[in-house]
Amino acid sequence: MQGLIGKKVGMTSIFDENGKNIPCTVLQAGPCVVTQIKTVEKDGYFAVQLGFEDKKEKHTTKAEMGHFKKTNTTPKKKVIEFTGFEEGQVKEGEVVTAALFENNIIVDVRGWSKGKGFQGVVKRHGFAGVGGQTHGQHNRGRAPGSLGASSFPSRVLPGMRMAGRTGGNKVMSMDLKVVKLMAENDIIIVRGSVPGPKGGYVIITK
């Protein structure tokens, strides 16, 4: 799919022609630089590699510096491959902007959900907890309870819902309508919510 790398600016709302208030998300879409074009002859498949947002050279490895110098561009923080571009549509070193999209089209937005750190089973999996505190119970309200059998298999089975690190996963919001396009500012406004915090990276595809 064709697409761009961008950032989540935040949420807002707009009114449609019927006066209905629509919740929307503002996204910065690009500008992205074509840092490499993968070919079938050399790489075994065709894809366009895009880079987004400059980063300092002191934070860049020598291998990355050599990669970006091939296309005479500055080092980029985020590099993603897209397979939906047609051969000859873009060239290495070319800048792709939000003009790739149009008003009223449907897009998919991938983002990384907010990290919540180490969480218990009530917040992580929606466990109800023990309930009342009676008959000498102490600090059992949000405990997970029994985890497995005794003599057989004498272990906790894999995949058991337990406490652990929550959030920070790659999540995709599908079929979001572009309600407003401001290509001159590389801004698109989509209907609905998008995963991740303000300033978080997103991948927008059509």
- CATH number, domain of 84, equals 3.30.160.810
> Both 105 and 204 in a single domain?
yes
Q: Which helix (H) or strand (E) holds 41?
A: helix 40-43
Question: What pLDDT is attached to residue 80?
Answer: 93
User: What separation in angstroms does the CA of 104 have from each of 34, 58, 101?
Assistant: 26, 42, 9
Question: What pLDDT is attached to residue 132?
Answer: 72
> Both 113 and 83 in a single domain?
no
What residues make up the domain containing 76? 32-96
All residue ranges of the chain with pLDDT < 70 are none
Question: What pLDDT is attached to residue 25?
Answer: 95
Question: What pLDDT is attached to residue 130?
Answer: 78
- With H, G, I as helix, E, B as strand and everything else as coil, classify residue 179: strand
> Both 89 and 78 in a single domain?
yes
Does 149 reside within a domain? Answer: no
Question: What pLDDT is attached to residue 58?
Answer: 92
Question: What pLDDT is attached to residue 133?
Answer: 73
